[in-house]
Chain A
């Protein structure tokens, strides 16, 4: 009953409500075409993203995980994204020890006005994950 078409991979995105989710909306409004692999989960702040979520996704079926928040110093909650940056950078270095290619995980900052940048981020990361191929052989 898998709904994933053979050429599509599974990419999970955690986006903060104030900047990146808005940026993805702006990209939609501007009709900036993107690959369809990404599934977006809305969180209030990138600081809410527990590294455990990322690991859980990668271990249970995702081929890539993308986290995006507000630009550093422009966080809706003052400094939530600084906590995110520290945790996610740590996670990125930890992933290879768990046998996961760290190219399957990416974190970035996209503001609500950067629709075009969002298009580039999604396209770039999707291509990167496709280059690695599926993580879970079915």
Chain B
């Protein structure tokens, strides 16, 4: 066996704290190593040529590269060795950057560690076997989870590209957060006016199938072949009959139902259509408030409905859709302002959240676009905006910046002046974060043209005094305490992950961070991919994002799906489990533990019962391998012998 070892300097990233020449020198002494060298940038074109040349010149049959993480460049080097005629599994990468040079200060210890990492990789590569992938057909349909602006953009782009799209939206209408906004920054465009046409596109596109008021129950399968079980929640209204006339809503005697669309800015009816532009424009009954459900008698809506669409007996329904890729656009949530007890949100009616204020500004909102104080319905004259209500505050569990609050506060201050010309807005801020195109100019306009007074400092307390709310805070630029008697206080509550984001990630087998935001494959270079192939991210489910960024990511995710589906067949990963039927005793413990039902019972011609792996279903986790009592089922590329070779390389010297 002739192993070639290539030690990368990675500029000074590795060579700065590891003696790479010494690592190469020690590598030359390792059994099986025929050639070892160090190179400035092994991933560069000349660096890769160095590898292919050496394979030819020194007749190498295995290659080890000691460089960055294999999560970064494993595929690069696999392709390199393939170019030189080797099987791509005759390659191993030792991670001496992320796991060595970047975390240890002592050059001598780092060098020792790097040598051992190389020793392990050499031991492993010598046990490696050539593996060959097979190809399988893909189902060219795509599932989009979430009907906000990011999901809609992704769905429209996919459908325009000729793909069939299944969209699942948990609320009764698509539109998401953007449908709730009055205007958008920095153009002060009417939000629903630019969103409406997109919603109509989704509804009318021949290739888009919309499941509103539905949730994902279960996802099975793998890239190219997913089976998705969708739970259609009961609306108690037959949507095939409902015309969206709104008569039921007018006559419904329950007037105190919680309005999810308006974030509780005002109560609504127990049967309602969330907003005039809703798509689908159909009514839904909230059984938590409806008298028919709560008290067992009412039936007013059933009596008035001209098409007889009301059905109190409706049950939830499950349907299954088969798709090849999934775009996750589940959006974000907002921190409950009651968590910020010092601000009194939820306790005092005149302390409201930014999204509730947005609904007051909106012409189709609960007040038809008139700004009011919720306590006495009077027009407020002094309005205080508190930015970073929860954001950038470790004690609230949100150390990050919520991204777009600075901008929407500036917008709301501008709109407030438009609505009530003799009003005065105050904005408490920590820093004004406005790094987008035309954004900084916009926040300046709010101050210079619209006279919003910006106070740099945090608010410590908000409490009532007569009809007013006293906002106590600091002005850190003047170094003084400030007290403002306000009529209305608006809190820019922190952006948090969508409710249930964690459970959704678990169904999708993608990872999420401590805050519930989904983790992309690479923060810079693979921002819409996840580590689960075939699952992509769009919008604020990945982190707080404004509309342009969400739309951009929606299109990017669609482009990824279109490029995935540009092939008819996909290559399978050959690193899957394999059964040695001679050793298999047919206990079928592996069948019980396999998380993917990829193992079935098989009978050989001799009549012996053995386990059999379904190649396309096996995902390569290796749970079966560590379950098998006789080592008969082995996960290729991570066999017992290969992993023990690594253990021995560390332990037995």
Contact = CB atoms under 8 A, between A and B. Distances in A.
Contacts, number: 171
Contact of B620 (A19, A29, A44, A75): A44
B221 to A, nearest CB: 12
A77 B594 CA distance: 9
A93 interface: no
Given A3-B653, A29-B102, A45 B643 contact: no
Interface string A16-60: 011101101101110111111001111111011111010011001
Given A76-B532, A79-B595, A113-B519, A21 B103 contact: no
B543 to A, nearest CB: 11
A39 B124 CA distance: 14
A50 B640 contact: yes
B643 A43 contact: yes
B103 A80 contact: no
A44 B622 contact: yes
A80 B620 contact: no
Interface stretch (B241-249, B369-377, B487-495, B623-631): B623-631
A111 interface: yes
Interface residues of A, number: 58
Interface in B423-461: none
B98 A25 contact: yes
Contacts of A87: 626
Among B108, B115, B595, B638, max chain A CB count under 10 A is at: B595
B216 to A, nearest CB: 15
A14 to B, nearest CB: 8
B506, B647, B648, most chain A CB atoms within 10 A: B647
A83 B593 contact: yes
Chain A interface, DSSP helix/strand/loop, else mixed: loop
A137 interface: no
Contacts of B98: 24-25, 27-29
B546 interface: no
A95 interface: no
Given A8-B112, A80-B595, A18 B531 contact: yes
A70 B509 CA distance: 11
Given A25-B69, A111-B511, A33 B120 contact: no
Nearest to A136: B651
Interface string A63-90: 0000000100111111110010001000
A62 interface: yes
Given A48-B625, A61-B653, A25 B511 contact: no
Contacts of A47: 621-623, 626
A45 B623 contact: yes
B601 interface: no
B514 interface: yes
B99 interface: yes
Contacts of B621: 44-45, 47-48, 76-77, 80
Interface string B461-497: 0000000000000000000000000000000000000
A12 interface: yes
B519 A77 contact: no
Nearest to B220: A78
21 contacts: A5-B108, A18-B511, A28-B97, A28-B98, A32-B103, A36-B106, A39-B113, A40-B99, A43-B643, A47-B626, A50-B625, A57-B651, A60-B647, A60-B648, A60-B652, A61-B651, A62-B651, A74-B505, A75-B595, A76-B511, A77-B509
Interface of B: 26, 69-72, 95, 97-100, 102-106, 108-110, 112-113, 115-117, 120, 502, 505-506, 509, 511-514, 519, 531-532, 575, 593, 595-596, 619-623, 625-627, 635, 638, 640, 643-644, 646-648, 650-653
Interface of A: 1-5, 8, 10, 12, 17-19, 21-22, 24-25, 27-29, 31-36, 39-45, 47-51, 53, 56-57, 60-62, 70, 73-80, 83, 87, 111-114, 119
